[in-house]
Structure 1
Amino acid sequence: MEPVTRWLFAPVPRGRVAAFRTIVYLFVVLDLLVFTPWVRSHASVPGELYQPLLVGRLLPLPTPTPLLVHGIFWALLVTGLAAATGRAPRLLGWTVFALYFEWMIIAMSYGKVDHDRFGFLVALAALATAGRARHGDATLTEAGGWALRVTQIAVVCTYFLAAFAKLRFGGIDWVTSSVLARAIIRRGTDLADLIAQVPYLLILAQLGIVMFELLSPLIFVVRERWRYRGIAFFYGFHVVTYATITISFAPHLVAMTAFLPLERVRPIVWARRRFARTPAPTDP
Structure 2
Amino acid sequence: MSATTTPAPGDPATHVHPVHRALRAGTAWFLAPVPLARVAAFRVLIYAFVVLDVLWIRTSVIPHGYVPELYRPTWVARAVHLPPLTPLQGEILLWALLAACAAGVVAVVTGRLQRTTGTLVALGFWVWMLNSQGYGYISHDHLALMVAVTVLPTAGLTRLRDHTPSQAAGWAMRVIQIGVVATYFGSAVLKWMRAGSPAGWANSAVFVWAIMRRGSPLVRWTLEYPWLLIVAQWGLYLIELLSPVVLWLRGRWLYVAVSTFLLFHLATFLALGIHFLPTVVCWAAFLPLERLPFLRTRAAR
Tell me the distance in 2 between the aligned counterparts of 1:121 and 1:266. 28
Residues 212-261 of structure 1 deviation map (CA, whole Å, 9 limit, x = unaligned): 01111111233322011111111111111111111111111111110001
Q: Tell me which residue corresponds to 1:205.
A: 232
Structure 1 stretches of 4+ moved >3 Å: 266-270
Amino acid at match of 2:147: V
Offset at 1:74?
0.7
Which amino acid in 2 is paired with 1:139?
T
Q: Which moved more, 1:33-42 or 1:213-222?
A: 33-42
Cα contact 1:148–1:258 (8 A) shared by 2 = yes
Q: 1:212 to 1:269 in 2, by over 3 A?
A: closer
- Aligned equivalents of 1:89, 1:186: Cα separation in 2: 45
**Max radius of gyration: which structure?**
2
Shift of 1:268: 7.8
Aligned match of 2:32: 10
Question: Residues of 2 paired with 1:55 and 1:136: CA distance?
Answer: 38
Distance between the aligned counterparts of 1:41 and 1:235, measured in 2? Answer: 32
Using the TM superposition, give the Cα deviation of residue 99 of structure 1 relative to its aligned residue in structure 2, in angstroms: 0.6
Aligned to 2:6: none
C-alpha distance in structure 2 between counterparts of 1:160 and 1:16, whole Å: 25
Residues 174-215 of structure 1 show CA distances to partners (whole Å, capped at 9, x for unaligned) of 111111111112211111212333341111111111100111
Aligned counterparts of 2:294 and 2:51: Cα–Cα separation in 1: 20
Per the TM alignment, residue 54 of structure 1 is displaced from its structure 2 partner at its CA by 0.7
For residues 59 and 249 of structure 2, what CA distance do their matches in structure 1 show? Answer: 39
Cα deviation, 1:54-93, whole Å, max 9, x if unaligned, reads 1111111122212221111110111011112224111111
* Cross-structure match for 1:258: 285
Q: Distance in 2 between matches of 1:43 and 1:269?
A: 46
Matched to 1:189, the amino acid is S
- 1:182 pairs, out of 199, 206, 209, with 209
In structure 1, distance between residues paired with 2:288 and 2:295 = 16
Question: Partner residue of 2:93?
Answer: 72
Q: What is aligned with 1:278?
A: none
Instruction: Give unmatched runs, 5+ long, in structure 2.
Output: 1-22
Query: Which residues in structure 2 correspond to 1:102-251 (within 5 Å)?
Result: 102-171=127-196, 172-251=199-278
In percent, how many aligned pairs have the same letter?
42
Counterpart of 2:66 in structure 1 is: 44
Question: TM-score by structure 2 length?
Answer: 0.86
- Partners of 1:133 and 1:3 lie apart in 2 by 26
Cα deviation, residue 267, structure 1: 4.7
Query: 8 Å contact 2:77–2:130 — kept in the other structure?
Result: yes
Cα distance change, pair 196–265 in 1 and its aligned pair in 2 (3 A): farther
Q: Any idea what SS the aligned residue of 1:61 has?
A: coil
Partner AA of 1:54 in structure 2: W
The match for 1:275 is none
AA of the residue aligned to 1:131: G
CA contact (8 A) 2:177 2:247 kept: no
Q: In 1, Cα distance between the equivalents of 2:236 and 2:95? A: 39
**Match of 1:98, as an amino acid?**
L
CA RMSD of aligned residues (A): 1.6
Supply the distance in 1 between the matched residues of 2:136 and 2:213 (Cα, whole angstroms). 18
CA deviation profile, 1:96-121 (whole Å, cap 9, x unmatched): 11110110111111111110111111
How far is the alpha carbon of 1:3 from its aligned partner?
A: 1.0
Which amino acid in structure 1 is aligned with residue 286 of structure 2? F
Is the 1:136–1:266 contact (alpha carbons within 8 Å) kept by the matching residues of 2?
Answer: no
Residues 42, 284 of structure 2: 8 Å contact kept: yes
Determine the structure 1 residue equivalent to 2:41. 19
The match for 1:35 is: 57
Is the CA contact (8 Å cut-off) linking 1:235 and 1:253 kept in structure 2?
A: yes
